[in-house]
A and B are shown apart, each in its own frame.
Chain A
């Protein structure tokens, strides 16, 4: 069995204390929520924090609230399972609930959190391997080496954004509340991410994501379709998140975000721009889906071939549009 390295575990009493602890310990420390992403990575020595600051127990991070306007706020440390059991949420934000339900397996969803899922590390099959394997293959940019094993001439890391909930959160226009040494700030989820596999999060040192805020449905429908090899457990090979507002058959607003085809969720606003003001028929869906597939640039660092993954982007985008178009529109409370 791969064993965990030695580390100390700190249990802050508040978000502020957690932030202070992270500031204290700097680079040696890491936030741990459910640990379903972090701990396996530590076993493989991909990351080696010596101090873990636990946040799963913090009351302030497990709240759940629907505001008067109909926006839903979810504490970052709520489990994905609690999201699935949340009937109101499933009704208002079916796309988000769908995505949460497609993460890994029931056991991992019981432990994995909303915040952890948004922050989950990028993946690459040259990287998500044991220390021994990486010694045999040689290190890469993401493990302190000189070059990218996948694309040796590339100056950057292409590890894949692999969160299932990030694309839909971006599509829904969700915002994230972040606590840090300078206090709290609220940012669009989209701006949490950077197109760099080696530094995919735009969070400052010591910053903690405390809440996810999903805006009121306000007539928007949503859907998330995930491409994966098996019926459970597997990370996305591609994901398509669609948010759609249709009035009497005509598109009033539309957002399409792809997951797992780049180092961050990829919003294709130009592509869907033309849909607005048009009826959403099969022809329009096909055209957008083909366009998405053309724009998606998966690389050879995940399961199955990247040619097939690229081709399948068309299918999942079309499926997501069809699903969103036929989903119910939540009544504003």
Chain B
């Protein structure tokens, strides 16, 4: 494999003081400390996007479609534009260029011009002196719609459209994307199996429900545009703004403001971000737009509802010989990252279980609902749910312990999966052992209504391929050192996960400083080198490695200068406690600055090419420089009479590689468990007559703090060879096993299967009623639709050379 770039991970070599010889060697890495911005966060000093206010700011309100599917005949803005204090009214005609987070599907317009595709789609915008006036003016805009038959389900989307497809370009009704891949010989695998089982599952869609609603402010002055936004990916917004507004990238600056949560909901460039920019250009004044909670539900980009069918062949002793997995995703009205999501519903099954033969068929359809997109776990919680429950059922068929069945099929460290993924560090056995030991799963108490469920999962430490094809680094860091101290510049965006703290920790460790000594400038496309964004659990791994590289170069410069200054050999210099050899950090900097002027160093990270061994359509999805593993046991009581479920406790073990800061890691694990419980038991982005059922935080149910059970966390630290100080991801993985473990525990408690989340009390009672009547004790989808998947692309197995890594 040839690439002009050296592979950073390898270049960094072994971590100094790292490995198994304990944390004692580190000064800040691995220490449990508050976030660097903890005080400003808890005292309310942090300035979030909606807190920003520039003199003369105009307020923007978006007019949204009240119809799920309609052509726009004409939009009359005259009356609105004439309202006193209205400064500008904008429609889609002014911004015809289509954009999208993924270049393979740039089909969105900042304001819909020809047709609307879901209730809540923005069609016009008003900038006025105050928000109330802008809102009032929106009501005066007359939109003449021609109604079209809405498509509201996967089944309906697969039929011939009544009026017209949602997107003119879609094939086969409203199909957005089809995937058909086969790795190894699946038919042969089934033929060689002693037992074959099929199941159908459904996973409902859900919103991210970040506490902070989206907000953006734009200023256009002196020919330059600046947009402040609560985005997870300033880089994506930067690209979209440049393309839609016809400004060169160098004239656009996007600043990611401190975040009140993203979870994937702020990865896509959004309508309001482009609209405020355009309005700022038109009016010459700062323009601001903050979405209401309801608008966030419409902007959505949340979890896809996915229907799944899985068929697996096993031998008598529980070895999987072949698996066939089909998914059908309800994508909503736009593409978003949905093509990638579709592949993600098939990509990671082989990263957990060693599948000798695997066929995956995926399909994403467009419907007239708010667009789905990436949400924590991106396309993998749904198949994880199906796969884990399917294995439980297979184990039951075989009369085998469900954990043992899994263990017999676990992937091994340093192996290559059937779909070409490189597995390096892998603590799947260890997380299983830990969670079983702590929970006493195999010795669990047996009383009616009480149950425990076990599940395991894998997740990426960053997508191995960028969202748009290029060979540039995924993350870059530059470091400036002079009399003013140390400043880290990095595009990485702290969305609450603590990436700023991670950067400060790594640089402080390398330079022998305290975290508070390091100044951070992050998530600003005008000031910082690029980082692709806070998604796919990539930031600690990628920006972290880039930061280490930059810091090590700086350290070498400082050490050399300090050695020369003090007449000692560089090898004798220790860098710790604010000192470089015998000199203080300041003295060392002065010595180096005397020689070189302002000190600068850069670092960058791109994943090594070896992470993927096969090339096929969709092969960009799945490869990652490392995988993390999580295992969970959920303990609950389920009431036979009411169907109500009370989760008593969750044990979760996570393969973190190294916890750079256990406080941050535990926060992420807890948040993941919380979100998993919500999706298992409550959350549903549900519709009624094409309208979102409950776009409000009171009616959209998510667990409250008083609903949360005790969580016991077990962090497994087996450093990854390429992770920064051995660290792996934690932002998404721990959510994954929780959902199937809940449903498995309900089965353990009551003997019925609910093959569909969220599990409501009623679904449990329906399964119990069926049981009482002697029918299948199960609630869930009955069948999987006929889908026009193309013939499978047969992908050659990775060759022996790459299989040995």
Binding site for B on A (CB under 8 A): 1-3, 105, 125, 128-130, 132-133, 135-137, 229-234, 303-305, 307-308, 311-312, 315
Contacts and interface: CB of A to CB of B under 8 A. Distances in A.
Nearest to A318: B641
Contacts of A3: 131-132
B516 interface: no
A136 B119 contact: yes
Given A1-B213, A3-B131, A230-B704, A132 B66 contact: yes
A137 B695 CA distance: 13
Contact of A137 (B131, B641, B691): B691
B213 to A, nearest CB: 7
Contacts of B693: 125
Given A125-B699, A230-B707, A233-B704, A136 B131 contact: no
B121 to A, nearest CB: 11
Interface stretch (B250-258, B259-267, B759-767): B759-767
B294 interface: yes
B641 A315 contact: yes
Interface string B425-437: 0000000000000
A99 B453 CA distance: 35
11 contacts: A2-B292, A105-B704, A130-B294, A132-B66, A230-B704, A231-B706, A232-B707, A308-B761, A308-B762, A311-B765, A315-B642
Nearest to A2: B292
Interface string B144-179: 000000000000000000000000000000000000
Contacts of B703: 230
Contact of B691 (A1, A128, A136, A315): A136
Given A136-B119, A311-B765, A312-B642, A232 B704 contact: yes
Closest 4 CB pairs of A and B: A136-B66, A308-B762, A231-B706, A232-B706
B67 A136 contact: yes
Nearest to A1: B292
A22 B292 CA distance: 33
A133 B695 contact: yes
A125 B692 CA distance: 11
Nearest to A130: B294
B694 interface: yes
A136 to B, nearest CB: 4
Contacts of A128: 696, 699
Contact of B698 (A233, A304, A307): A233
Nearest to B690: A136
A134 to B, nearest CB: 10
A129 B119 CA distance: 14
Contacts, number: 72
B41 to A, nearest CB: 20
A310 to B, nearest CB: 11
A318 to B, nearest CB: 9
B761 A133 contact: no
A63 B213 CA distance: 42
A230 B762 contact: no
B64 interface: yes
Given A133-B691, A136-B119, A307-B762, A229 B66 contact: no
Interface residues of B, number: 33
B689 A137 contact: yes
Given A1-B293, A125-B694, A130-B292, 6 more contacts: A2-B294, A132-B294, A133-B695, A230-B703, A304-B762, A312-B761
Interface of B: 64, 66-67, 119, 131-132, 213, 290, 292-294, 641-643, 682, 689, 691-696, 698-699, 701, 703-704, 706-707, 760-762, 765
Contacts of B762: 304-305, 307-308
Nearest to A43: B292
A268 to B, nearest CB: 21
Contacts of B699: 125, 128, 303
Contacts of B682: 229-230
A308 B643 contact: yes
Contacts of B704: 105, 230-233
A137 B692 CA distance: 10
A132 B701 contact: no
A311 B766 CA distance: 12
A114 B760 CA distance: 33
A229 B641 CA distance: 15
A50 to B, nearest CB: 15
A250 to B, nearest CB: 28
Nearest to B708: A231
Contacts of B293: 1-2
A232 B706 CA distance: 7
A295 to B, nearest CB: 19
Contacts of B692: 133
B59 to A, nearest CB: 11
Nearest to B643: A308
Nearest to A137: B691
A129 B689 CA distance: 15
Contacts of B698: 233-234
A231 B64 contact: no
Contacts of A136: 66-67, 119, 691
A245 B770 CA distance: 40
Nearest to A149: B689
Given A136-B119, A230-B701, A230-B703, A308 B765 contact: yes
B60 to A, nearest CB: 14
A128 B692 CA distance: 13
A132 B698 CA distance: 17
B210 to A, nearest CB: 15
Nearest to B297: A133
Contacts of B765: 308, 311
Contacts of B66: 132, 135-136
Centre residue among B119, B643, B761 by max chain A CB count within 10 A: B761
Given A3-B132, A233-B704, A129 B642 contact: no
A305 to B, nearest CB: 5
Contacts of A229: 682, 701
A319 B131 CA distance: 50
A165 to B, nearest CB: 19
Contacts of B643: 308
A128 B290 CA distance: 22
A308 B695 CA distance: 23
Contact of A304 (B119, B213, B294, B760): B760
Nearest to B290: A1
Nearest to A233: B704
A153 B691 CA distance: 21
A3 B59 CA distance: 14
Contacts of B761: 304, 308, 312
Contacts of B294: 2, 130, 132-133
B729 to A, nearest CB: 30
A133 B64 CA distance: 10
Contacts of A315: 641-642
A215 to B, nearest CB: 33
Contacts of A312: 642, 761
A230 B697 CA distance: 13
A230 B213 CA distance: 24
A91 B228 CA distance: 57
Nearest to B298: A132
A303 B700 CA distance: 9
A324 B290 CA distance: 50
Contacts of A304: 760-762
A303 B688 CA distance: 13
A230 B293 CA distance: 21
Contacts of B292: 1-2, 130
B128 to A, nearest CB: 14
Nearest to B64: A132
A268 B64 CA distance: 47
Contacts of A308: 643, 760-762, 765
A230 B758 CA distance: 14
Contacts of B641: 315
Nearest to A316: B642
B116 to A, nearest CB: 11
